[in-house]
Amino acid sequence: MHEPQPETVQIHINGKSVRVATGSTVAVALTLTEQACRISVRHEERGPLCAMGICMECRVTIDGVPSRLACQTLCQPNMDVRTHG
C-alpha cells in the first residue's frame, strides 16, 4: 500500500506561489499562469513549443539550476522556478 498522493502541489514561479495538479510539468504550471519561459536573443518571449524535450525553447531556472526544460520537469513541492533567466 502506498500513501495516496495529495491532489495538488505548490511551487513558486518568480517568487509567487502557484498550485497545480500533482503530476503537472513545470511547463503546465507556466502555461496556466500565462508566463513565458525566457526571452530570445531577438528579444521575443519564448515558451513550450514541442513539449517533448527537443526544441529547447522552454528553458527556465529550477532550484538555482539554469537551462532546465520546463516540459520535462514535474512540479515538486516548493520547487523554485525562475523565468527569463
56 binds another protein (CB under 8 A): yes
* Helix ranges, the chain (H): 26-32
Question: What would you report as the CA-atom Rg of the chain, rounded to the nearest whole angstrom?
Answer: 13
3-state class (DSSP) for residue 49: coil
Q: Which of 67, 74, 77, 78 binds another protein (CB under 8 A)?
A: 67
In this chain, which stretch among 28-36, 43-51, 59-67, 75-83 interacts with another protein, using CB under 8 A? 59-67
Q: How far is the CB of 41 from another protein (least distance, A)?
A: 4
By the 8 A CB rule, do 25 and 68 touch? no
Binding site for another protein (CB under 8 A): 41, 56, 59, 66-67
